[in-house]
């Protein structure tokens, strides 16, 4: 009988904890997704090859994207 009462009383708390864990997992998955970074690099390279951006712009933007990629990889190692 006590177990049923405990389940009823603690179910909102258990649901909140479960939801927080799922949100954390989802956020971590999104934060560590490298596919978007690879797409940005590919787009940047295509813009450079088509002459839409200069060599200097390409190098600056590539450096920024590579920094983000490195940060993602470091985060994955920490996890």
The domain limits of the chain are: 1-31, 32-79
pLDDT for 54 equals 94
C-alpha to C-alpha distance for 51 and 25, rounded to whole angstroms = 40
1 pLDDT above the threshold of 70:
no
pLDDT tens-digit map of 22-77: 999 999 888 888 999 999 999 999 999 999 999 999 999 999 999 999 999 998 88
Give the mean model confidence (pLDDT) for residues 5-9.
Answer: 75
Global pTM reads 0.65
Predicted confidence at residue 61, as pLDDT, reads 95
């Amino acid at each position: 009988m006590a177990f049923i009462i405990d389940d009823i009383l603690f179910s909102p708390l258990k649901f909140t904890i479960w939801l927080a864990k799922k949100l954390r997992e989802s956020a971590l998955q999104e934060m560590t997704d490298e596919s978007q970074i690879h797409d940005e690099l590919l787009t940047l390279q295509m813009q450079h090859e088509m002459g839409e951006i200069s060599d200097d712009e390409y190098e600056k933007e590539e450096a920024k994207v590579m920094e983000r990629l490195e940060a993602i990889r470091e985060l994955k190692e920490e996890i």
